[in-house]
């Protein structure tokens, strides 16, 4: 299974996926990293890891559709079967999302359906929740609303700041995302009529 990772920034989740896929007995190969930003720090980290990279600058495309057609062509030309969004900061059109339905996943830094969108750690602290975390889900047209594949929870502790909470959550993101990618690549988790079907009960 050839997998592409789409990034816009530092790419720490991307690195965790690359490392997991190389650790052996993984049902997927990270075959491509695509960034919509030429200056994304993650691009250098992907190159260092010897992964093919490709910049598709949204600013160089007149419309969202145009940008996405360029991305889709790059993915098709490399025989990509699955997409992982990892800090990819462009909203995708219904066309692109439908095209990759059941084959595109995202990691989000909250326990969805709580805290869709941005500033999740700040909002969790403001609400005084005592449990927070991260979620991997299939991508659907509505932002951060797709069927859930895997979640990890962390405690919120007295004195936490946005940064300390983010640090606690990202450790779990790096563990969770490879697990979820494995599940969709080996068929353990599949999207069927809008729901996730797990082939092994636990
Ligand atoms: C992560 O917190 C992820 O959950 C969110 O964006 C951030 C990306 O970080 N979608 P990185 O680029 O993987 O380091």
On the question of pLDDT at 201 being above 70, the answer is no
Q: Let me know if residue 138 belongs to a domain.
A: yes
Structural domains in the chain (count):
1
* Residue 113 counted as domain residue: yes
Q: With a cut of 90, say whether residue 19 has pLDDT above it.
A: yes
Cα separation, 45 vs 51, whole angstroms: 9
In a domain? residue 200: no
| 41-60 per-position pLDDT tens digit | 999 999 999 999 999 999 99
Assess if residue 53 is contained within a domain: yes
Given the residues 58, 69, 108, 174, the one annotated as active site: 108
Q: What pLDDT digit, counting tens, does each position of 149-195 carry?
A: 999 999 999 999 999 999 999 999 999 999 999 999 999 999 999 99
Q: What pLDDT is attached to residue 24?
A: 83
Residues in the chain, total: 202
In whole angstroms, what is the distance from residue 95 CA to residue 35 CA? 19
Does residue 202 belong to any structural domain of this protein? no
Asked if residue 107 is part of any domain, the answer here is yes
Residue 201 lies in a domain: no
Q: Residue 8: which CATH number?
A: 3.40.50.170
User: Residue 75: which pLDDT band, with cuts at 50, 70 and 90?
Assistant: very high
Closest by CA to 69, choosing from 41, 108, 88, 96, is: 96
Whole-structure pTM value: 0.97
Residue 47 CA to residue 38 CA, distance in Å, equals: 13
Q: 108 an active-site residue? A: yes
Write the burial class of residue 76 (CB in 10 Å: 0-12 exposed, 13-18 middle, 19+ buried). exposed
The widest CA-to-CA distance across the chain, in whole angstroms, is 50
Domain of 79 in residue numbering reads as: 2-194
In short, whether 109's Cβ falls inside 6 Å of ligand 1 is yes
Closest atom of ligand 1 relative to the 12 alpha carbon: 14
Contacts for 24 with CB less than 8 Å, ≥ 6 apart:
none
């Amino acid at each position: 299974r050839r997998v592409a990772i789409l990034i816009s920034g530092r790419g720490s989740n991307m690195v965790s996926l690359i490392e997991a896929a190389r650790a052996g007995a993984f049902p997927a190969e990270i075959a491509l990293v695509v960034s919509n930003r030429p200056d994304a720090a993650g691009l250098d980290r992907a190159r260092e890891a010897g992964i093919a990279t490709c910049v598709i600058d949204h600013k160089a495309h007149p419309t969202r559709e145009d940008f996405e057609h360029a991305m889709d062509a790059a993915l098709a030309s490399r025989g990509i079967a699955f997409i992982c969004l990892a800090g990819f900061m462009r909203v995708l059109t219904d066309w692109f999302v439908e095209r990759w339905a059941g084959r595109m996943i995202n990691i989000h830094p909250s326990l969805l359906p709580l805290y869709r969108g941005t500033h999740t750690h700040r909002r969790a602290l403001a609400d005084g929740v005592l449990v927070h975390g991260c979620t991997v889900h299939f991508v659907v047209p509505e932002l951060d609303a797709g069927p859930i594949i895997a979640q990890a929870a962390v405690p919120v502790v007295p004195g936490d700041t946005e940064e300390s909470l983010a640090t606690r959550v990202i450790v779990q993101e790096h563990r969770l995302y490879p697990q979820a990618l494995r599940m969709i690549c080996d068929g353990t988790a599949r999207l069927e009529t809008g729901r996730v079907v797990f082939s092994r009960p636990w």
